[in-house]
Every structure is written in C-alpha cells, then in structure tokens.
Structure 1
Amino acid sequence: MQRYIGLMSGTSLDGIDAALVSFDDFGTPWLEATHGEELPAELRRILWQLCHQNEVAFADLAYAEEAFSQCQAHAVEVLLEHRSLSPDQITAIGSHGQTIEHAPYGHDGGPAYTLQLDNPSRLAELTGCCVVADFRRRDLAAGGQAAPLAPIFHQAVFSQHGNWRAVLNLGGFANLTLLPPSEASSSALGFDTGPANALLDAWHERHRKGRFDADGAWAAGGHVDQALLARLLSEPFFHLPPPRSTGRELFHLDWLQRSLSGDESPQDVQATLAELTAVSIAMGLKMASEQMDAPPQLELIPCGGGARNRDLLRRLSNQLPDANLLDSESLGWPADWLEAAAFAWLARQRLLEHPGNLPTVTGAAGPRVLGGVYAS
C-alpha cells in the first residue's frame, strides 16, 4: 500500500483542503483521512490583492508564498498526527498551490499563462516529504488550457459500466466532467461552465455578514431578475464550445456591476447569481451531451463546497429534471474532498510517469506527464 497527500486551495480563498489517499497494489484509491486548514486573515487579504492587481510587490509575494507554505505544512502535519504516520510513510504530496491568475487565452494579445503561488521546495523542506507540484503548465505548453485537471481523476473513480455520469464541481467556479460508460471507447469531456461560489460569496460578503450564504438561504428568499439574468448570460464565454476554462480574470464583481442598473435589491441579485450558476451548468451539460451523444437521463454527482448549498441544488434539479442527483459520499468520495484527492492521484501519476491530462478536456496536443518532482 502507498499513501499520498493532496493539497488544494481553490479560488474561494477560504482554506487548504488536505486529503490522505491510499492506493492498494492494484492502484485503487480510497480516502483515508482529511483536514481543512483555514487561511489566516492577513494571508487571505494579501492573496486576494495578488489576484486583483496588475502590479505586485515582491515582498508581498514572498510573504504570501512563505505563509502559504507554512499553512500547507501544518495541514500535512495534522494529517500525519491523525493517522500516527511519519513523513517517510508518505510517497509524495501533490500540491496544487493557490491560483493567482489563469489566462489560457492570453492577455491583450500575449501568450497564454497560468500562475499558481506555491513553493514546493519549501514544502518539501518543512514536511520531509517528496512534493509534486506545478501540474498545469505542462498541459499549457502542449497547447491546452491547463484546466480543469480533475476530470481524469473523475474518470478513474466514477466511470461505471452501462451508465452515463456527470461530475459537477461547485467550487469558486463550476466545472463539469461528462463520463461515458466505462466500456465505451470515447474519453471523458470536461470544461468550466462559469462562476459558482466566487460571485455568490463575493456579493454576499459585500452586503451581509459572513463570507458565504449558508445553504443558499439568502438567495432562496430573493427573486430572480430575468432581465439581469439575460444580460449576464449574454457573456460570450457561456456560448463557447469545450474545451474552455475561466476564472476571476473574467468573472468578478466589476463584471457583475456592469450589468446592474442600480435599482436591484441585493437579495434579488444573489438569487439571480444562483440562477446564473444553475442555468449556465445546464447549458454546458446540454452542449456536452449533444457533442458526445449522451442521453439526458444521466447521473449527476455534485461535489465541492457548493454541493452543500441546498438552494443551488434545488435550482439545478429544476434546470435538469431528467438528471438523477447522487451524493458523492455514497460513492466513497465526500464532496468537500474530491479535488484535494485528485491532486494526490495526480502526484502518483507523475511518479509513475503516466499522463495527468485528458486532451479531450484541456485541448492539449496529446497526453502529457504533469508536474515537477521535488525530493524530500
């Protein structure tokens, strides 16, 4: 048996998810332990600034990198203590890092790029573990969008004989993985559908106490502004065919503000943003299903933080009446820990020198081994 740790910090900037994943002799993974490491307020503030400014002070970058590495190392330490393990019992850590900017289409005519704040050398030093990191840029170098990366893991753990399934990650942004039956010759299709928690959390934090709308209760009490929804859905991204990926560079509060008249109720805007997430997911799934000739009667597996948002799940059910929503935990993978587990799995792929991308998802020229290895 081998053990890997996956570390994931998403675009919501709320903390680091750490997942201890074990693999048996046949390579079958299972989730052994988890830990959520909250980011200190000052680090979160600096990371937020780094994500929203064009000029960066090197001192801020150095502070953020060191503080982030310390948080990652503490998350690893907690997992090891929880299972009474030593660092030499961990084959490797898979570190995603914190995305600062993701621009797969380039910027102002420049080259495509993606930037994750991370210091795998420092993490290896702090933990005494081998670290695999920098997963995205190899795919980008091969002409891909470097995102989403989780679909190849979804394919490994959720594909089922005879059944079409879709895995929906509701993080800061939503991404879909459409999985054909395991006996099919076709590969999975995955892509970003648009904003999810990123806009919902930001709007809620601007107008209410707390960083997020628990259970979507505030949104549930509002009314969808259909005219506003139509303006938001006119964004060209929603109509692009896969492969496609996005982030805060496109979808942020200033983007929302440009569509507001100023007369809207803040609660109605929250309801409209929730509806935007559900509608854009339904649009994306319809587009992918038509591309792969998939039936509308499929199993949909929500995961990520948004899988606990009952209002959002209700809206999804309304938009996708033929889909059967499954609880990912009933399939062995709790919704909150799937992405962190994916980077443990990707670290193992790297050490085995197996591909970590799906060209049908990212648009890369072919399968590529992802990530760099930093020995302990």
Structure 2
Amino acid sequence: YGRRLLYHITDYSIFILGMWLTVHGQLTIGRYVAFRGYCARFSEGIEKLADMYQSIATSRRASQRYFELVDRKPNIGDAQDSVSDAVAMADNFRPHLTQPPLIEYCNVSFAYPAESATLANAGRRTNEVNGAAKDTATGPIDRVSFELPPGSFTALVGPSGVGKSTLASFLLRFYEPQNGSIMVDGEELGDLDVHWWRQQVGYVEQEAAVFNRTVHENICYGLSSASTSDSSANVRRAAKAAHAHEFIQRLPYQYATVCGERGGRLSGGQKQRLALARALSRDPCLLVLDEPTASLDTESERAVADALEELRRRNSTTVLMITHRLETVKKADNVLFFDRNGEMTAGRHEDLMRDKPRYRRFVSSEWHTQLPDE
C-alpha cells in the first residue's frame, strides 16, 4: 500500500505541475503529453523492478528455510553395531528375525516438547511462570508395556489425542522412546539398521500418499532393486491381497494408468487399497495401519476391511492397527486400550467388555449406535 500511495502522489504532483506550466505558457500541450507518456513508462519499469525485488527477497527467505530443513541431520540414527544392509543381504533380508517377529514394548515413555504441542495435538498448553515460558512435556505415554505376538492382529483403540499414533510411530522409528525399549525377537529396535528395518515394515496411514505415476510404479515405490526384479508378479500379488486388482483392471490402462497429482484420478477407497498394496508388496514382517478406513465411504471401507480380514486369517504378518471401527476390534486377536490416564489395558474384546468398566464406557460412548441391546 505504501508503494502504491507514493506512486499516486507522484503522479498527481506531475499532473498538477504540468497543468500549471501549460496554463502559464511555460510548457506546450504536446510536450506535456509526451512527458506524461515517458513518466508512465518509466514508473511502470520501476514498479516491476520493485515487485521483482520483493519476490526475490521472499524466495530467498523461503529457500533459506528449505535448505535448513534439508541440511538438518536426523536425530534418529544407527547404532555403531547395528545390522547393516550387507549383513541383511547375506542373511536373506531377515537377520536374527523370525517371520513374523515378536514385538515387545518394555516400559516405554515419551513426551513431546512444549514447542511441539501444536504438532503433537496433545491438548496441553505451555505453562507461564513469572512471565517466562516454562518447558513442559506434552503426551501421556508413561511406562507403557505390551507385546505383539508373532502373526497376531492387534487393534489399538482409545480416545483421540492419547498417543496411539505416537506409539505406532515408534515401530517405524519416526520417534525414539525417551525411556524404555522396544524389542524385536529379543533384539533392541535401536540396534537394527534403520533403513533396513523400514524395508521390513509396511505402513499405511489415514491419508494415502499416491504419486503422479502409474499404478504399477505407485505399488513398487520404495522397494529395493532386489525386490523389483520380478516386480510385475509381485505387484499383482500385492494388489489382489489388498482387493485392488479388480478396480485396477477397470482403469483405462490398468496397471499402466497414471494416477494423477495426489491420486486425483482415484477415489479415496482406491487410494487406500493402493497404499495397502504398496505396503504388502514388500512382504512385510510387520504391518502398521494408522486408521486406514477413517475417511472412507461404506463400500470402500468394506473392501479395505475384507483385505485386512484375509490378512488376519493368514497369520503371516504381525499387524498393529489403530482403528475406530468396532467390527475390526471385535475380530482382532488382541485389543490394546489406551485411556486418557495413560493406562494400557490388553485383552480380547469380549474379555475387556466383561472385566474392564473403563473399556465398556469407552465402547458405549464411541460406538453407542452399533452396540447391541443388553
């Protein structure tokens, strides 16, 4: 606004001065018109230069933030004695691990720093002490212990914001527990090579990441070269397991169909099944699902649920699923209920309904329209 105001003040001043000189015979009308034209062209160029400078300054600040992020070293690294890719290759990609493995959480504790409270969505606020911000921890995870038996299908449930996604993210090593440990077949998770370990884990989140590539490339994304040598057969196998093969066959170019920017040519349910196929294509020993059916319509939710039910019956993969779907909870081999007090309760759905009043109250409030009359 300041630049525009200065431009208009200058323009009006030139107009008034030119008219005064013309009226008093010191300037001809022709010269005045020519002078006005030159001033307009000159000021237009100056304005473009000013806009260009502002754009460059804005881009420079943005690029600085970008490169700060790119250059930042991750806090999560590999231990000095971690299992390397070379050892993994020599031991059939499963060093020291059974298929599927036993996962154990041992007295795990974690809290987000106060400055990350908004991102963590933990619902806590920074305390003010004597006018200064005091760092507090947000997040209720405190000495949590449980296990995921080999080949089991475990449902993780609880109110929003209690830390379910954080608990699951430990398995991908997106975060590290501040206290306690996570064991994988007796090996501490932090001792495994982080890149190798992530190749063994499948992950499907609530908003599926689909790229502007073909269906085949989206399913293969992230696989190592050793896994993509027979990719066509592997992709079709994974697509069938995820109940995605049928809708892919109906696409214009089937597996060669380009999905569009952010999967814009696919429905929400199709994108989720594509993401599930991508996770299954690596034949994971562990599958982590973070509310994959939360935003789907009934038909799409049923298709994804059927694929997960078949996976549960095969017992070939250890599955941890964060869910708000009662049918999934009922069919799970084990239910982990994480309440607002940070207490973890484990058991089958029927046993928890019978023995745990807190769980009964949660089920009643969460799925009251789906509960049968007692």
Q: Same fold (TM over 0.5)?
A: no
What's the TM-score, normalizing by structure 2?
0.28
Q: Which has the higher helix share?
A: 2
- For CA contacts below 8 A with separation 6 or more, give which structure has more relative contact order: 1
- Structure with the greater alpha carbon radius of gyration: 2
What's the TM-score, normalizing by structure 1?
0.28
